[in-house]
Amino acid sequence: MEHRIEKIKKQLHSHSYKLTPQREATVRVLLEREDDHLSAEDVYLLVKEKSPEIGLATVYRTLELLSELKIVDKINFGDGVSRYDLRKEGAKHFHHHLVCIECGSVEEIENDLLGEVEQIVENDWGFEVKDHRLTFHGICRQCQKAAAAEKEDVQKAT
């Protein structure tokens, strides 16, 4: 975790921003909960547990700054809530998401699967790809299993 903090500190410095204690508290929460997709309010509540003096506006401004600097990505899974997602170390583009329409779970695909698509977009549209968002909506493994088990039970019962 410390080397990630150090790296983010450098990224801020290179844009003439400081890693203030308030900003650091926010960054730490994002690192601790890297697998989650937290809203500004979620982040705020977690920051508050350790640093009750930090307000929602400060957390919000920090998140906006981090997303401007591409340290975090802002994403919306269609529920109208903006979520903040730490960019993976060394990743050039934003990772992909698998959102389950049954249970709401979110899985991540870290490998960039879009290399070929990016090439087509660049060649055929002359468009220089800088980033992308890719979210698949569907049914996760667990929900598929649960549905299959339920079906089996119904068949046994009849």
93 annotated ligand binder: no
Min. distance of Cβ 7 from Zn ion in angstroms? 18
Q: Which of 45, 112, 121, 134 binds Zn ion (CB under 5 A)?
A: 112
Judged by CB under 5 A, does residue 147 bind Zn ion? Answer: no
132 annotated ligand binder: yes
| Rounded distance between C-alpha atoms, residue 52 and residue 153, angstroms | 50
Alpha helices in 39-114 (DSSP H): 40-50, 56-68
Judged by CB under 5 A, does residue 134 bind Zn ion? Answer: no
Number of H helices, E strands in the chain: 6, 6
Tokens 């979620």 locate to 42
Alpha helices in 109-140 (DSSP H): 115-125
Taking CB under 5 A as the criterion, which residues in 44-83 touch Zn ion? none
Q: Which of 5, 65, 114, 121 binds Zn ion (CB under 5 A)?
A: 114
By the criterion CB under 5 A, which residues form the site for Zn ion?
A: 85, 93, 100, 102-103, 105, 108, 112, 114, 140, 143
